[in-house]
Structure 1
Amino acid sequence: MADMEYELTDRGSVHIADEVVQIIAGVATSEVEGVAGMSGSFAGGLTESLTGRKNLSKGVKVQFVENERACTIDVSVSLRFGVNIPDTGYQIQERVKAAVEGMTGLKVVAVHVHVVGVAFQSDGDAKTADADQILSTERSPGL
């Protein structure tokens, strides 16, 4: 993908790499309640496991609109079981749009959210939830 270039006055120009926009969108998405994770390609997951570094742009694609300071963003996510998918998708769209526009000055034409998976509670989490329920039941009088 091509970088976005801002033509400035006699001082020069500013180039924004597509990966910068991907990272901004990825971080904004991961901050939304109900998002279990980002879904990227197999190669991205392999790179992440080999380097030990979290890939903040995982699951995000950016397309710049030519001759305009605008872009379209595609986000692929896994959501936690039980969340309202349309509401969570809307929150992702709003948060990504606000973050990218605020930090880069680009106009976000669209944010397409692709829900590619649902994450269930792990066995360890389920045991913790059960233990917490037992403790609260034991402390409640009259139960």
Structure 2
Amino acid sequence: MEQTGRYEGGTIRIANEVVKIIAGLAATEVKGVAGMSGGVVDGFAELLKRKNLSKGVKVEVGEKQAAVDLFIVIEFGANVPETAMLVQENVKRAIESMTGLDVIEVNVHIQGVEFKQEETETKVL
């Protein structure tokens, strides 16, 4: 479903994909987030850096409200509860300020941890 509004100049529609991209970008801005997760393959979370931000996001958009589920990979050493809370706040703020939707919930699902072994090589579990 898309958000639809009727205004003096006509109708405005915000596609779900737009809300997903806003949420994914806002989540990856938070320090400690390695990227979005595209799912779990063979027990390992697929890490999607900035390639496809909407893949790790599910949204339910009504006429005035939205609910968001984010699937992220966190950097090793990051404080998980604190990082997740910052993600929730940043995503809520970004969606509300850019779309005018009331975000009723932002659920954060930690799908993996990124371990940096060398500067050029990373492993995701």
Q: Which TM-score band applies after superposition, normalised by the shorter structure?
A: 0.7 to 0.9
Q: Deviations over 1:28-70 (max 9, x none)?
A: 000000001101248xx7xx8xxxx9212120111013xx400
The residue aligned with 2:114 is 119
Gaps of 5+ in 2: 41-45
Matching residue of 2:38: 40
Pick the aligned partner of 1:89 from 84, 89, 96. 84
2:56 to 49, 56, 59: 59
Q: Aligned residue for 1:8? A: 7
* TM-score calculated relative to the size of structure 2: 0.83
Partner of 1:78: 73
Please tell me the residue identity of whatever aligns with 2:34: A
**What's the Cα RMSD here?**
2.1
Number of aligned residue pairs: give it.
114
For 1:137, the equivalent position in structure 2 comes to none
Bigger strand share: 2
Of structures 1 and 2, the one scoring higher in RCO (CA 8 A, sep 6+) is 2
Aligned-pair distance for 1:119? 0.6
Bigger radius of gyration, 1 or 2? 1
Distance in 2 (alpha carbons) for counterparts of 1:122 and 1:61: 31
Q: Name the residue aligned to 2:96.
A: 101
- Gaps in structure 1 of 5+ consecutive residues: 127-143
Q: TM-score, normalised by structure 1?
A: 0.73
Amino acid at match of 1:3: E
2: distance between equivalents of 1:57 and 1:23?
5
Q: Among 2, 17, 20, which residue is 1:19 paired with?
A: 17
The runs of at least 4 aligned residues of structure 1 exceeding 3 Å deviation read none
Q: Secondary structure at the match of 1:57?
A: helix
1:69 maps to: 64
Percent identity between matched residues is: 47
